[in-house]
Chain A
Amino acid sequence: EPEVTQTPSHQVTQMGQEVILRCVPISNHLYFYWYRQILGQKVEFLVSFYNNEISEKSEIFDDQFSVERPDGSNFTLKIRSTKLEDSAMYFCASSIGPGRLYNEQFFGPGTRLTVL
């Protein structure tokens, strides 16, 4: 069964450093998403991406964040200058899309980001 994969499973970085979290969505999916979950808190939507551009983003997704689909398979989330409060689990998801109607989002296993 196809699945969303994410690498690395755990990333440790120093405050102020740039990190790139990687995701490989399911191959025939067209919509891609990033969510984050601070330990013990709710899952929060960050951004959705379709046709090589951001389609929706939340208030959390500020100028420190960017997303990219650099090739036909990867979908990345970059945090330019990490802060302590960026420590969280980051989930990638993809759906077959597009449009307003829901298509099931399949979640990856997550990347745990720890900022020291």
Chain B
Amino acid sequence: AQTVTQSQPEMSVQEAETVTLSCTYDTSESNYYLFWYKQPPSRQMILVIRQEAYKQQNATENRFSVNFQKAAKSFSLKISDSQLGDTAMYFCAWYNNNDMRFGAGTRLTVKP
């Protein structure tokens, strides 16, 4: 069974600094997708970034980038120049063939 582990329940960062959220997963599939979702207090899930497992190049979306290590089954999210609006729960997710598995989430607080 596919599992996704986020080992940091809570993290905080000063505004404008950089923070990295960790995620590891376990799967026997060779092709899959990985995502980071943001869930602000409004609770709506917002896709932050995605990575296709067959691509070696790490995905980047503006201030958000990932460090994808397929052999290690690691998928961390780096947020640069943190902003107050980045305060939210962040969920790492694994996807294949309509099956999506989420990690337990990391609560990120950006401090002014």
Contact = CB atoms under 8 A, between A and B. Distances in A.
Nearest to B52: A102
Contacts, number: 50
Given A43-B45, A105-B47, A110-B44, 17 more contacts: A42-B91, A42-B102, A42-B105, A43-B37, A43-B93, A45-B99, A55-B98, A56-B98, A89-B43, A91-B45, A102-B33, A104-B47, A104-B50, A108-B44, A109-B42, A109-B43, A109-B44
Interface string A19-50: 00000000000010101000001111100101
Interface of B: 31, 33, 37, 42-47, 50, 52, 91, 93, 95-105
Given A102-B33, A102-B50, A45 B101 contact: yes
Given A102-B50, A104-B50, A48 B98 contact: yes
A111 to B, nearest CB: 11
Q: Is the interface of B mostly helix, strand, loop or mixed?
A: strand
